[in-house]
Homo-oligomer: A and B are copies of this chain.
Amino acid sequence: MEKNVKMKDIKELGEQLGELQRVCREKKIPVMIAFEGYGAAGKGLQIGNLIQALDPRGFKVYAVKNETEEEWMHPFMWRFWTKIPEKGRIAIFDTSWYRRVMIERFEGKTPEKELEKDFESIRAFEKQLTDDGMVIIKLFLKIDRKEQKKRFEKLLASKDTAWRVSKGDLKRNHDFKEYKAINEEMLRKTDADYAPWTVINATKKKEAKVAVYQAVIQAMKEAVARKELEEKGSLEKKTEMKRETAESILAKTDLSKSMPKEVYEERLKELQKKMEHLHGELYRRRIPVVLGFEGWDAGGKGGAIKRLTSHMDPRGYVVNPTASPSDTEKAHHYLWRFWRAMPKAGHIAIFDRTWYGRVMVERIEGFCTEKEWKRAYGEINAMEQDLVNAGAIVLKFWMQIDKDEQARRFKARQENPKKQWKITDEDWRNREKWDQYEVAVEEMLEKTSMPHAPWIVVEGNDKYYARIKVLECVTEAIEKRLKEERK
Protein backbone atom coordinates (compact mmCIF):
# COMPACT_ATOMS: atom_id res chain seq x y z
CA MET A 1 0.00 0.00 0.00
CA GLU A 2 1.40 3.38 -0.96
CA LYS A 3 1.69 5.81 1.86
CA ASN A 4 -1.02 8.45 2.32
CA VAL A 5 -3.66 6.19 0.79
CA LYS A 6 -5.93 4.42 3.19
CA MET A 7 -8.29 1.65 2.16
CA LYS A 8 -11.03 3.32 4.16
CA ASP A 9 -10.70 6.58 2.26
CA ILE A 10 -10.98 4.83 -1.06
CA LYS A 11 -14.08 3.02 0.11
CA GLU A 12 -15.67 6.29 1.15
CA LEU A 13 -14.84 7.95 -2.13
CA GLY A 14 -16.32 4.98 -3.97
CA GLU A 15 -19.54 5.31 -2.04
CA GLN A 16 -19.72 8.99 -2.80
CA LEU A 17 -19.28 8.22 -6.48
CA GLY A 18 -22.06 5.65 -6.48
CA GLU A 19 -24.34 8.11 -4.75
CA LEU A 20 -23.49 10.89 -7.21
CA GLN A 21 -24.18 8.59 -10.13
CA ARG A 22 -27.64 7.98 -8.70
CA VAL A 23 -28.29 11.69 -8.16
CA CYS A 24 -27.15 12.50 -11.70
CA ARG A 25 -29.45 9.85 -13.09
CA GLU A 26 -32.35 11.27 -11.14
CA LYS A 27 -31.59 14.82 -12.17
CA LYS A 28 -31.01 13.71 -15.74
CA ILE A 29 -27.46 15.00 -15.89
CA PRO A 30 -25.39 13.31 -18.62
CA VAL A 31 -21.65 12.76 -18.01
CA MET A 32 -18.75 12.10 -20.37
CA ILE A 33 -15.39 11.05 -18.95
CA ALA A 34 -12.38 11.02 -21.29
CA PHE A 35 -9.19 9.20 -20.30
CA GLU A 36 -6.08 10.34 -22.11
CA GLY A 37 -2.39 10.17 -21.28
CA TYR A 38 0.87 8.46 -22.07
CA GLY A 39 1.09 4.80 -23.08
CA ALA A 40 1.30 2.42 -20.09
CA ALA A 41 0.17 5.23 -17.78
CA GLY A 42 -2.65 2.90 -16.73
CA LYS A 43 -5.77 4.16 -18.48
CA GLY A 44 -7.35 0.70 -18.59
CA LEU A 45 -6.55 0.13 -14.94
CA GLN A 46 -8.00 3.45 -13.85
CA ILE A 47 -11.14 2.94 -15.89
CA GLY A 48 -11.51 -0.44 -14.20
CA ASN A 49 -11.10 1.23 -10.82
CA LEU A 50 -13.61 3.91 -11.62
CA ILE A 51 -16.38 1.65 -12.80
CA GLN A 52 -16.09 -0.57 -9.77
CA ALA A 53 -17.74 2.25 -7.89
CA LEU A 54 -20.52 2.63 -10.46
CA ASP A 55 -23.78 0.85 -11.18
CA PRO A 56 -23.05 -1.06 -14.41
CA ARG A 57 -26.53 -0.33 -15.72
CA GLY A 58 -25.78 3.37 -15.93
CA PHE A 59 -22.57 3.65 -17.92
CA LYS A 60 -20.98 2.54 -21.14
CA VAL A 61 -17.25 2.31 -21.91
CA TYR A 62 -16.01 3.07 -25.41
CA ALA A 63 -12.57 1.90 -26.46
CA VAL A 64 -11.62 4.39 -29.12
CA LYS A 65 -9.37 2.89 -31.76
CA ASN A 66 -8.41 3.78 -35.27
CA GLU A 67 -11.40 4.87 -37.28
CA THR A 68 -13.44 2.21 -39.04
CA GLU A 69 -14.09 2.77 -42.73
CA GLU A 70 -17.62 3.97 -41.90
CA GLU A 71 -16.21 6.49 -39.44
CA TRP A 72 -13.45 7.60 -41.72
CA MET A 73 -16.08 8.49 -44.32
CA HIS A 74 -17.69 11.01 -41.94
CA PRO A 75 -16.49 14.23 -40.28
CA PHE A 76 -14.04 13.22 -37.55
CA MET A 77 -16.32 14.30 -34.70
CA TRP A 78 -19.19 12.22 -36.10
CA ARG A 79 -18.25 9.10 -34.21
CA PHE A 80 -18.30 11.01 -30.95
CA TRP A 81 -21.48 12.93 -31.64
CA THR A 82 -23.24 9.64 -32.22
CA LYS A 83 -21.95 8.30 -28.89
CA ILE A 84 -22.93 11.06 -26.49
CA PRO A 85 -24.82 9.62 -23.52
CA GLU A 86 -28.47 10.37 -23.00
CA LYS A 87 -29.51 12.48 -20.05
CA GLY A 88 -28.76 10.72 -16.76
CA ARG A 89 -26.19 8.30 -18.18
CA ILE A 90 -22.39 8.14 -18.21
CA ALA A 91 -20.11 7.47 -21.19
CA ILE A 92 -16.45 6.67 -20.51
CA PHE A 93 -13.89 6.97 -23.29
CA ASP A 94 -10.64 5.05 -23.32
CA THR A 95 -8.83 7.64 -25.41
CA SER A 96 -11.17 10.03 -27.06
CA TRP A 97 -11.72 12.83 -29.57
CA TYR A 98 -8.22 13.95 -28.64
CA ARG A 99 -6.53 11.11 -30.56
CA ARG A 100 -6.58 13.28 -33.64
CA VAL A 101 -4.51 16.04 -32.07
CA MET A 102 -2.24 13.67 -30.11
CA ILE A 103 -1.27 10.22 -31.42
CA GLU A 104 -2.53 10.81 -34.93
CA ARG A 105 -0.79 14.16 -35.13
CA PHE A 106 2.42 12.62 -33.88
CA GLU A 107 2.13 9.93 -36.53
CA GLY A 108 1.62 12.54 -39.21
CA LYS A 109 -1.90 11.34 -40.00
CA THR A 110 -3.44 14.67 -39.06
CA PRO A 111 -2.38 17.30 -41.59
CA GLU A 112 -0.74 20.22 -39.73
CA LYS A 113 -2.67 22.70 -41.82
CA GLU A 114 -5.95 21.28 -40.52
CA LEU A 115 -4.83 21.31 -36.92
CA GLU A 116 -6.38 24.61 -35.94
CA LYS A 117 -9.67 23.57 -37.48
CA ASP A 118 -9.55 20.34 -35.50
CA PHE A 119 -8.96 22.20 -32.25
CA GLU A 120 -11.85 24.45 -33.16
CA SER A 121 -14.11 21.43 -33.78
CA ILE A 122 -13.13 19.94 -30.43
CA ARG A 123 -13.77 23.16 -28.56
CA ALA A 124 -17.13 23.65 -30.28
CA PHE A 125 -18.14 20.06 -29.48
CA GLU A 126 -17.37 20.46 -25.79
CA LYS A 127 -18.88 23.92 -25.58
CA GLN A 128 -22.14 22.86 -27.17
CA LEU A 129 -22.55 19.80 -25.01
CA THR A 130 -21.73 21.53 -21.74
CA ASP A 131 -24.03 24.41 -22.64
CA ASP A 132 -26.73 21.78 -22.92
CA GLY A 133 -26.00 20.41 -19.44
CA MET A 134 -23.40 17.72 -20.20
CA VAL A 135 -20.62 17.25 -17.65
CA ILE A 136 -17.31 16.68 -19.45
CA ILE A 137 -14.49 15.33 -17.31
CA LYS A 138 -11.10 15.09 -19.00
CA LEU A 139 -8.35 13.17 -17.25
CA PHE A 140 -4.78 13.13 -18.48
CA LEU A 141 -2.57 10.42 -16.93
CA LYS A 142 1.04 11.45 -16.79
CA ILE A 143 4.22 9.43 -16.27
CA ASP A 144 7.75 10.39 -17.27
CA ARG A 145 9.89 8.84 -19.94
CA LYS A 146 11.91 6.69 -17.58
CA GLU A 147 8.87 5.29 -15.83
CA GLN A 148 7.24 4.57 -19.17
CA LYS A 149 10.30 2.74 -20.41
CA LYS A 150 10.38 0.65 -17.25
CA ARG A 151 6.73 -0.29 -17.70
CA PHE A 152 7.16 -1.19 -21.37
CA GLU A 153 10.12 -3.38 -20.51
CA LYS A 154 8.13 -5.16 -17.85
CA LEU A 155 5.28 -5.79 -20.27
CA LEU A 156 7.65 -6.96 -22.99
CA ALA A 157 9.30 -9.43 -20.62
CA SER A 158 6.25 -11.71 -20.58
CA LYS A 159 4.68 -13.15 -23.69
CA ASP A 160 1.24 -12.75 -22.08
CA THR A 161 1.62 -8.99 -22.03
CA ALA A 162 4.17 -8.24 -24.74
CA TRP A 163 1.43 -7.75 -27.37
CA ARG A 164 0.19 -4.76 -25.45
CA VAL A 165 3.26 -2.74 -26.39
CA SER A 166 3.09 -1.52 -29.97
CA LYS A 167 5.77 -0.16 -32.22
CA GLY A 168 4.06 3.19 -31.93
CA ASP A 169 4.42 3.04 -28.15
CA LEU A 170 8.16 2.48 -28.42
CA LYS A 171 8.49 5.23 -30.97
CA ARG A 172 6.69 7.67 -28.70
CA ASN A 173 8.94 6.65 -25.83
CA HIS A 174 11.97 7.17 -28.00
CA ASP A 175 10.78 10.62 -29.10
CA PHE A 176 9.25 11.40 -25.74
CA LYS A 177 10.14 15.06 -25.76
CA GLU A 178 8.55 15.66 -29.11
CA TYR A 179 5.38 13.77 -28.16
CA LYS A 180 5.25 15.60 -24.85
CA ALA A 181 5.35 18.95 -26.62
CA ILE A 182 2.36 17.88 -28.72
CA ASN A 183 0.45 16.85 -25.62
CA GLU A 184 1.24 20.03 -23.80
CA GLU A 185 0.09 22.14 -26.68
CA MET A 186 -3.11 20.12 -26.74
CA LEU A 187 -3.71 20.57 -23.02
CA ARG A 188 -3.11 24.30 -23.31
CA LYS A 189 -5.38 24.79 -26.27
CA THR A 190 -8.32 22.80 -24.95
CA ASP A 191 -8.32 23.59 -21.25
CA ALA A 192 -11.58 25.51 -20.91
CA ASP A 193 -13.75 26.57 -17.98
CA TYR A 194 -16.57 24.45 -19.28
CA ALA A 195 -14.38 21.38 -19.83
CA PRO A 196 -11.14 21.60 -17.86
CA TRP A 197 -8.31 19.08 -17.93
CA THR A 198 -7.19 17.33 -14.77
CA VAL A 199 -3.61 16.14 -15.12
CA ILE A 200 -2.96 13.18 -12.86
CA ASN A 201 0.42 11.86 -11.85
CA ALA A 202 0.04 8.16 -12.58
CA THR A 203 3.39 6.96 -11.28
CA LYS A 204 1.81 5.60 -8.12
CA LYS A 205 -1.28 3.62 -8.98
CA LYS A 206 -3.20 3.92 -5.73
CA GLU A 207 -2.61 7.65 -5.52
CA ALA A 208 -3.73 7.99 -9.11
CA LYS A 209 -6.88 6.04 -8.29
CA VAL A 210 -7.72 8.49 -5.52
CA ALA A 211 -7.01 11.43 -7.80
CA VAL A 212 -9.32 10.03 -10.49
CA TYR A 213 -12.10 9.46 -7.97
CA GLN A 214 -11.67 12.94 -6.58
CA ALA A 215 -11.69 14.63 -9.96
CA VAL A 216 -14.85 12.82 -11.01
CA ILE A 217 -16.57 13.45 -7.69
CA GLN A 218 -15.69 17.12 -7.80
CA ALA A 219 -17.05 17.62 -11.29
CA MET A 220 -20.25 15.70 -10.62
CA LYS A 221 -20.85 17.56 -7.36
CA GLU A 222 -20.52 20.89 -9.09
CA ALA A 223 -22.89 19.77 -11.81
CA VAL A 224 -25.49 18.70 -9.26
CA ALA A 225 -25.16 22.02 -7.45
CA ARG A 226 -25.59 23.94 -10.72
CA LYS A 227 -28.64 21.90 -11.61
CA GLU A 228 -30.21 22.51 -8.20
CA LEU A 229 -29.61 26.21 -8.54
CA GLU A 230 -31.27 26.13 -11.93
CA GLU A 231 -34.26 24.23 -10.59
CA LYS A 232 -34.70 26.75 -7.80
CA GLY A 233 -34.05 29.76 -9.97
CA SER A 234 -36.86 31.35 -11.87
CA LEU A 235 -37.68 29.83 -15.23
CA GLU A 236 -36.51 31.91 -18.09
CA LYS A 237 -39.11 34.17 -19.53
CA LYS A 238 -40.74 33.28 -22.79
CA THR A 239 -39.30 35.08 -25.72
CA GLU A 240 -40.77 38.35 -26.74
CA MET A 241 -41.00 38.67 -30.45
CA LYS A 242 -40.29 42.01 -31.87
CA ARG A 243 -39.82 43.05 -35.40
CA GLU A 244 -36.25 44.06 -36.14
CA THR A 245 -35.77 47.18 -38.17
CA ALA A 246 -33.03 45.59 -40.26
CA GLU A 247 -33.68 45.29 -43.94
CA SER A 248 -35.89 42.33 -44.68
CA ILE A 249 -34.49 39.59 -46.88
CA LEU A 250 -37.88 37.97 -47.37
CA ALA A 251 -39.58 41.23 -48.35
CA LYS A 252 -37.01 41.70 -51.11
CA THR A 253 -37.83 38.35 -52.66
CA ASP A 254 -39.45 38.76 -56.05
CA LEU A 255 -42.37 36.35 -55.92
CA SER A 256 -43.63 37.27 -59.36
CA LYS A 257 -40.94 35.08 -60.96
CA SER A 258 -42.44 32.27 -62.96
CA MET A 259 -41.82 29.82 -65.77
CA PRO A 260 -44.10 28.50 -68.54
CA LYS A 261 -44.93 24.83 -68.36
CA GLU A 262 -43.19 23.93 -71.64
CA VAL A 263 -39.95 25.58 -70.57
CA TYR A 264 -40.22 23.88 -67.20
CA GLU A 265 -40.63 20.42 -68.66
CA GLU A 266 -37.67 20.79 -70.93
CA ARG A 267 -35.38 22.27 -68.30
CA LEU A 268 -36.48 19.65 -65.78
CA LYS A 269 -35.48 16.85 -68.11
CA GLU A 270 -32.08 18.41 -68.78
CA LEU A 271 -31.34 19.14 -65.15
CA GLN A 272 -32.43 15.73 -63.89
CA LYS A 273 -30.19 14.10 -66.41
CA LYS A 274 -27.33 16.34 -65.32
CA MET A 275 -28.06 15.56 -61.69
CA GLU A 276 -27.96 11.84 -62.40
CA HIS A 277 -24.55 12.22 -63.96
CA LEU A 278 -23.20 14.49 -61.20
CA HIS A 279 -24.42 12.09 -58.54
CA GLY A 280 -22.19 9.41 -60.03
CA GLU A 281 -19.26 11.82 -60.03
CA LEU A 282 -19.83 12.70 -56.38
CA TYR A 283 -19.85 9.03 -55.52
CA ARG A 284 -16.63 8.34 -57.36
CA ARG A 285 -14.89 11.32 -55.78
CA ARG A 286 -16.37 10.59 -52.36
CA ILE A 287 -17.84 14.03 -51.84
CA PRO A 288 -20.69 14.16 -49.31
CA VAL A 289 -23.62 16.54 -49.82
CA VAL A 290 -26.01 17.95 -47.22
CA LEU A 291 -29.16 19.68 -48.44
CA GLY A 292 -31.55 21.28 -45.97
CA PHE A 293 -35.08 22.33 -46.91
CA GLU A 294 -37.09 24.79 -44.86
CA GLY A 295 -39.99 27.01 -45.81
CA TRP A 296 -43.59 27.94 -45.18
CA ASP A 297 -46.16 25.16 -44.93
CA ALA A 298 -47.29 24.35 -48.48
CA GLY A 299 -44.18 26.20 -49.69
CA GLY A 300 -43.31 23.35 -52.04
CA LYS A 301 -40.52 21.54 -50.19
CA GLY A 302 -41.88 18.08 -50.94
CA GLY A 303 -42.40 18.75 -54.63
CA ALA A 304 -38.94 20.23 -55.04
CA ILE A 305 -37.29 17.29 -53.27
CA LYS A 306 -39.21 14.85 -55.40
CA ARG A 307 -38.03 16.46 -58.67
CA LEU A 308 -34.50 16.77 -57.35
CA THR A 309 -34.17 13.11 -56.45
CA SER A 310 -36.24 11.40 -59.09
CA HIS A 311 -33.28 10.49 -61.31
CA MET A 312 -30.68 9.97 -58.62
CA ASP A 313 -29.44 6.50 -57.78
CA PRO A 314 -31.54 5.49 -54.77
CA ARG A 315 -28.58 3.76 -53.18
CA GLY A 316 -26.71 7.02 -52.92
CA TYR A 317 -29.12 9.38 -51.17
CA VAL A 318 -31.55 9.48 -48.26
CA VAL A 319 -34.38 11.90 -47.59
CA ASN A 320 -34.75 12.48 -43.85
CA PRO A 321 -38.13 13.85 -42.87
CA THR A 322 -37.82 15.77 -39.60
CA ALA A 323 -40.79 15.41 -37.29
CA SER A 324 -41.09 16.36 -33.62
CA PRO A 325 -38.29 14.62 -31.73
CA SER A 326 -38.96 11.17 -30.24
CA ASP A 327 -38.42 10.68 -26.53
CA THR A 328 -34.98 9.17 -27.11
CA GLU A 329 -34.08 12.14 -29.27
CA LYS A 330 -35.34 14.53 -26.62
CA ALA A 331 -33.01 12.86 -24.13
CA HIS A 332 -30.00 13.97 -26.18
CA HIS A 333 -28.56 17.25 -27.41
CA TYR A 334 -30.88 18.61 -30.11
CA LEU A 335 -28.22 18.23 -32.81
CA TRP A 336 -27.61 14.54 -32.04
CA ARG A 337 -30.34 13.20 -34.29
CA PHE A 338 -29.06 15.23 -37.22
CA TRP A 339 -25.46 14.18 -36.67
CA ARG A 340 -26.59 10.57 -36.85
CA ALA A 341 -28.14 11.17 -40.24
CA MET A 342 -25.16 12.98 -41.78
CA PRO A 343 -24.04 11.37 -45.04
CA LYS A 344 -20.84 9.47 -45.48
CA ALA A 345 -18.42 10.44 -48.20
CA GLY A 346 -20.01 10.16 -51.64
CA HIS A 347 -23.59 10.17 -50.36
CA ILE A 348 -26.32 12.81 -50.31
CA ALA A 349 -28.47 13.51 -47.27
CA ILE A 350 -31.56 15.62 -47.84
CA PHE A 351 -33.42 17.00 -44.86
CA ASP A 352 -37.10 17.91 -45.17
CA ARG A 353 -37.08 20.38 -42.28
CA THR A 354 -33.86 20.56 -40.37
CA TRP A 355 -31.90 21.53 -37.27
CA TYR A 356 -33.15 25.07 -37.93
CA GLY A 357 -36.33 24.03 -36.14
CA ARG A 358 -34.44 25.12 -33.03
CA VAL A 359 -34.56 28.78 -34.05
CA MET A 360 -38.02 28.64 -35.59
CA VAL A 361 -40.72 26.35 -34.18
CA GLU A 362 -38.89 25.68 -30.90
CA ARG A 363 -38.26 29.37 -30.42
CA ILE A 364 -41.79 30.41 -31.22
CA GLU A 365 -43.58 27.66 -29.34
CA GLY A 366 -41.31 28.07 -26.33
CA PHE A 367 -39.97 24.49 -26.55
CA CYS A 368 -36.56 25.87 -25.64
CA THR A 369 -35.41 28.90 -23.67
CA GLU A 370 -34.37 32.19 -25.19
CA LYS A 371 -30.81 31.50 -24.10
CA GLU A 372 -30.90 28.17 -25.90
CA TRP A 373 -32.16 29.38 -29.25
CA LYS A 374 -29.86 32.38 -29.20
CA ARG A 375 -26.94 30.04 -28.63
CA ALA A 376 -28.15 27.81 -31.45
CA TYR A 377 -27.01 30.13 -34.28
CA GLY A 378 -23.39 29.64 -33.29
CA GLU A 379 -23.86 25.92 -32.65
CA ILE A 380 -25.41 25.38 -36.03
CA ASN A 381 -22.72 27.36 -37.77
CA ALA A 382 -20.12 25.23 -35.99
CA MET A 383 -21.80 22.00 -37.07
CA GLU A 384 -22.01 23.09 -40.68
CA GLN A 385 -18.38 24.21 -40.50
CA ASP A 386 -17.43 20.68 -39.35
CA LEU A 387 -19.28 19.22 -42.31
CA VAL A 388 -17.56 21.60 -44.70
CA ASN A 389 -14.18 20.84 -43.14
CA ALA A 390 -14.84 17.18 -43.85
CA GLY A 391 -15.33 18.04 -47.52
CA ALA A 392 -19.11 18.33 -47.70
CA ILE A 393 -21.18 20.57 -49.95
CA VAL A 394 -23.78 22.21 -47.69
CA LEU A 395 -26.78 24.11 -49.08
CA LYS A 396 -29.91 25.33 -47.34
CA PHE A 397 -33.09 26.25 -49.14
CA TRP A 398 -35.82 28.50 -47.85
CA MET A 399 -39.01 27.98 -49.87
CA GLN A 400 -40.65 31.40 -49.86
CA ILE A 401 -44.31 32.05 -50.72
CA ASP A 402 -46.58 34.86 -49.64
CA LYS A 403 -49.53 34.59 -47.33
CA ASP A 404 -52.10 34.77 -50.10
CA GLU A 405 -50.45 31.98 -52.03
CA GLN A 406 -50.42 29.83 -48.90
CA ALA A 407 -54.14 30.42 -48.42
CA ARG A 408 -54.80 29.42 -52.03
CA ARG A 409 -52.81 26.21 -51.60
CA PHE A 410 -54.43 25.32 -48.30
CA LYS A 411 -57.85 25.72 -49.87
CA ALA A 412 -56.94 23.74 -52.97
CA ARG A 413 -55.74 20.91 -50.76
CA GLN A 414 -58.89 20.90 -48.71
CA GLU A 415 -61.03 20.72 -51.81
CA ASN A 416 -59.09 17.84 -53.34
CA PRO A 417 -60.01 14.54 -51.63
CA LYS A 418 -56.62 13.10 -52.58
CA LYS A 419 -54.75 15.92 -50.91
CA GLN A 420 -56.84 16.62 -47.84
CA TRP A 421 -54.45 14.60 -45.67
CA LYS A 422 -51.75 17.11 -46.44
CA ILE A 423 -53.46 19.79 -44.42
CA THR A 424 -53.94 19.70 -40.66
CA ASP A 425 -55.19 21.98 -37.91
CA GLU A 426 -51.61 22.64 -37.01
CA ASP A 427 -51.01 24.16 -40.40
CA TRP A 428 -53.79 26.66 -39.74
CA ARG A 429 -52.42 27.43 -36.28
CA ASN A 430 -48.95 28.01 -37.68
CA ARG A 431 -50.45 30.35 -40.26
CA GLU A 432 -51.78 32.53 -37.48
CA LYS A 433 -48.22 32.99 -36.28
CA TRP A 434 -47.00 34.13 -39.71
CA ASP A 435 -45.55 37.39 -38.40
CA GLN A 436 -43.67 35.75 -35.57
CA TYR A 437 -42.19 33.23 -38.01
CA GLU A 438 -41.18 36.02 -40.33
CA VAL A 439 -39.10 37.62 -37.58
CA ALA A 440 -37.48 34.30 -36.71
CA VAL A 441 -36.74 33.45 -40.34
CA GLU A 442 -35.16 36.82 -41.06
CA GLU A 443 -32.90 36.47 -38.05
CA MET A 444 -32.00 32.92 -39.03
CA LEU A 445 -31.13 33.84 -42.61
CA GLU A 446 -29.01 36.69 -41.38
CA LYS A 447 -27.11 34.80 -38.71
CA THR A 448 -26.49 31.50 -40.43
CA SER A 449 -25.74 32.32 -44.04
CA MET A 450 -22.11 31.61 -44.65
CA PRO A 451 -20.15 31.51 -47.91
CA HIS A 452 -19.45 27.80 -47.49
CA ALA A 453 -23.00 26.96 -46.34
CA PRO A 454 -25.31 29.54 -47.86
CA TRP A 455 -29.03 30.01 -47.52
CA ILE A 456 -30.81 30.12 -50.84
CA VAL A 457 -34.18 31.85 -50.79
CA VAL A 458 -36.35 30.23 -53.46
CA GLU A 459 -39.13 32.33 -54.99
CA GLY A 460 -41.86 29.77 -54.58
CA ASN A 461 -45.20 31.26 -55.71
CA ASP A 462 -44.66 29.57 -59.07
CA LYS A 463 -43.87 25.90 -58.49
CA TYR A 464 -42.22 25.40 -61.83
CA TYR A 465 -39.84 28.26 -61.28
CA ALA A 466 -39.04 27.07 -57.76
CA ARG A 467 -38.26 23.48 -58.65
CA ILE A 468 -35.97 24.49 -61.46
CA LYS A 469 -34.16 26.97 -59.22
CA VAL A 470 -33.48 24.26 -56.64
CA LEU A 471 -32.15 21.86 -59.26
CA GLU A 472 -30.01 24.61 -60.78
CA CYS A 473 -28.50 25.63 -57.48
CA VAL A 474 -27.67 22.07 -56.51
CA THR A 475 -26.13 21.16 -59.84
CA GLU A 476 -24.18 24.41 -60.00
CA ALA A 477 -22.74 23.92 -56.53
CA ILE A 478 -21.66 20.41 -57.41
CA GLU A 479 -20.15 21.47 -60.73
CA LYS A 480 -18.27 24.28 -59.03
CA ARG A 481 -16.80 21.87 -56.51
CA LEU A 482 -15.83 19.31 -59.14
CA LYS A 483 -14.08 22.04 -61.08
CA GLU A 484 -12.14 23.11 -58.00
CA GLU A 485 -11.09 19.55 -57.30
CA ARG A 486 -9.78 19.15 -60.80
CA LYS A 487 -7.45 22.11 -60.37
Interface residues of A (CB under 8 A from B): 19, 22, 26, 44, 47-48, 51-52, 55-58, 60-63, 68-70, 92, 94, 302, 305-306, 309-311, 313-315, 318-321, 326-329, 350, 352, 418, 421
Q: Is the CB of A302 within 8 A of B418?
A: no
Q: Is the CB of B306 within 8 A of A94?
A: no
Q: Is the CB of B421 within 8 A of A26?
A: yes
Residues of B within 8 Å of A92, CB to CB, are 314
Please classify the interface of chain A as helix (H, G, I), strand (E, B), loop, or mixed, using the class held by over half of its residues: helix
Q: Is the CB of A57 within 8 A of B352?
A: yes
CB distance from A195 to the nearest CB of B (A): 22
- Which of A22, A48, A60, A311 has the most chain B CB atoms inside 10 A of its CB? A48
**In the complex, residue of chain B having the shortest beta-carbon distance to the beta carbon of A419:** B22
Q: A55-B306, A70-B70, A94-B314 are in contact. List 9 more A-B contacts (CB 8 A).
A: A47-B315, A48-B313, A55-B302, A57-B305, A60-B318, A68-B68, A68-B69, A92-B314, A327-B328
> In the assembly, what is the distance between CA of A321 and CA of B85, in Å?
14
Could you pull out 21 A-B pairs where Cβ atoms are within 8 angstroms? Answer: A22-B421, A47-B314, A47-B315, A52-B310, A55-B302, A55-B306, A56-B305, A56-B306, A56-B309, A57-B305, A57-B320, A57-B321, A61-B315, A61-B318, A63-B315, A68-B69, A70-B70, A94-B314, A326-B326, A326-B327, A327-B328
A69-B68, A326-B328, A418-B19 in contact; A315/B57 too (CB < 8 A)? no
> In the assembly, what is the distance between CA of A63 and CA of B94, in Å?
33
CB distance from A147 to the nearest CB of B (A): 23
Residues of B within 8 Å of A319, CB to CB, are 56-57
CB distance from A10 to the nearest CB of B (A): 15
- Which of A55, A56, A70, A321 has the most chain B CB atoms inside 10 A of its CB? A56
Residues of B within 8 Å of A302, CB to CB, are 55, 57
> In the assembly, what is the distance between CA of A19 and CA of B350, in Å?
23
> In the assembly, what is the distance between CA of A260 and CA of B329, in Å?
47
With beta carbons under 8 angstroms apart, the residue of B22, B26, B51, B314 that contacts A51 is B314
Residues of B within 8 Å of A326, CB to CB, are 326-328
Residues of B within 8 Å of A69, CB to CB, are 68
Residues of B within 8 Å of A310, CB to CB, are 52
> In the assembly, what is the distance between CA of A321 and CA of B56, in Å?
9
Residues of B within 8 Å of A70, CB to CB, are 68, 70
**In the complex, residue of chain B having the shortest beta-carbon distance to the beta carbon of A320:** B57
CB distance from A166 to the nearest CB of B (A): 16
CB distance from A269 to the nearest CB of B (A): 14
**In the complex, residue of chain B having the shortest beta-carbon distance to the beta carbon of A422:** B22
> In the assembly, what is the distance between CA of A421 and CA of B314, in Å?
51
Q: Is the CB of A314 within 8 A of B57?
A: no
Residues of B within 8 Å of A352, CB to CB, are 57
> In the assembly, what is the distance between CA of A68 and CA of B311, in Å?
28
> In the assembly, what is the distance between CA of A96 and CA of B254, in Å?
49
> In the assembly, what is the distance between CA of A90 and CA of B38, in Å?
49
**In the complex, residue of chain B having the shortest beta-carbon distance to the beta carbon of A280:** B160
> In the assembly, what is the distance between CA of A70 and CA of B69, in Å?
10
> In the assembly, what is the distance between CA of A302 and CA of B350, in Å?
44
> In the assembly, what is the distance between CA of A70 and CA of B71, in Å?
12
Residues of B within 8 Å of A320, CB to CB, are 57
**In the complex, residue of chain B having the shortest beta-carbon distance to the beta carbon of A352:** B57
> In the assembly, what is the distance between CA of A58 and CA of B328, in Å?
21
Q: Is the CB of B61 within 8 A of A314?
A: yes
Residues of B within 8 Å of A305, CB to CB, are 56-57
Residues of B within 8 Å of A314, CB to CB, are 47-48, 51, 61, 92, 94
Residues of B within 8 Å of A22, CB to CB, are 421
**In the complex, residue of chain B having the shortest beta-carbon distance to the beta carbon of A306:** B56
Residues of B within 8 Å of A68, CB to CB, are 68-70
**In the complex, residue of chain B having the shortest beta-carbon distance to the beta carbon of A50:** B314
CB distance from A289 to the nearest CB of B (A): 15
Residues of B within 8 Å of A418, CB to CB, are 19
> In the assembly, what is the distance between CA of A22 and CA of B418, in Å?
10
CB distance from A307 to the nearest CB of B (A): 10
CB distance from A76 to the nearest CB of B (A): 19
